[in-house]
Amino acid sequence: MATSRTNGATGARGKRNGAARDVVGKERVMQEALRMFLQRGYPGTSMKALAQELGVSAPALYWYFPSKEDLFVSVIETAMNDFVAHVRRSITETDPVLKLGQLVRAHVTWQLQQSDAARAFDLTMSVRSLANDIPQERLAPIVEMEREYVLEFRTVLEEGHKRGSMVIDDVKTTAFAIITLCEYVHTWFNPQGDMTVAAVANRYEGLVRSMVGVTASSRPTDIGSSSTS
């Protein structure tokens, strides 16, 4: 009888956790986790706090992710894969000046349209500081994605410099400066303001072209802004 009661209790808990799992969904768990990681950082986010935000018990989360570490890596890898895929789909040019413009516009557009998902790159830039919390081998794929993305910019800048269409003293520093410029556009953009996403993306392309010494005659024309000034 004792065994039956124990099995019955275990089964009941399993059903409750299973029901919570079905209600909240893996995607919802990842969305809320990303929001919390961005707000609180990795050390300041706990599975218990995440469960409270989602309105489920903490054990229910472990149906999806064995640990906070696994959750973090999965969230960042997914967001970064989506972001990089978006940028690469936007690239159609081979000329370095035009390709740089497409990279900038794609990055800015993603930042302004994807909200929390777009800011995942913020976390990838700081993952090295998590060495005491997460084993380096777990962070390696994220670091590699960051490295490959920066390399996209460096390759374009190096090609433009070799062709004489860009004037760059330090390719590495310039690449990081451009990425940082694009990454934090969301800090000032107002969706109800005078500029549309397209207008901001084009304006940033112009700023970046100025940074790398592209002549004024080849700069893009701002489009997509409202008629009010």
Residue 80: what pLDDT? 86
Q: 219 in a domain, yes or no?
A: no
The per-residue pLDDT for range 71-110, each reduced to its tens digit, is: 999 998 888 888 899 999 999 999 999 999 999 999 999 9
Q: Looking at residue 156, which CATH number applies to its domain?
A: 1.10.357.10
Nearest in space to 36 (alpha carbons), one of 46, 25, 21, 23: 46
**For residue 78, what are the CA distances in angstroms to 9, 51, 94, 116, 184?**
36, 20, 28, 13, 20
Angstrom distance (rounded) from CA 97 to CA 58: 50
Do 124 and 144 fall into the same domain? yes
Whether residue 11 has pLDDT greater than 90: no
Print the domain residue range for 116: 67-214
The per-residue pLDDT for range 163-205, each reduced to its tens digit, is: 999 999 999 999 999 999 998 898 899 999 999 999 999 999 9
State pTM to two decimals. 0.76
Count of CA atoms in the C-beta half-sphere (13 A) of 83: 31
Whether residue 22 has pLDDT greater than 50: no
Q: Where among 41, 65, 89 does a domain terminate?
A: 65
- Name which residue leads in pLDDT, 183 or 11: 183
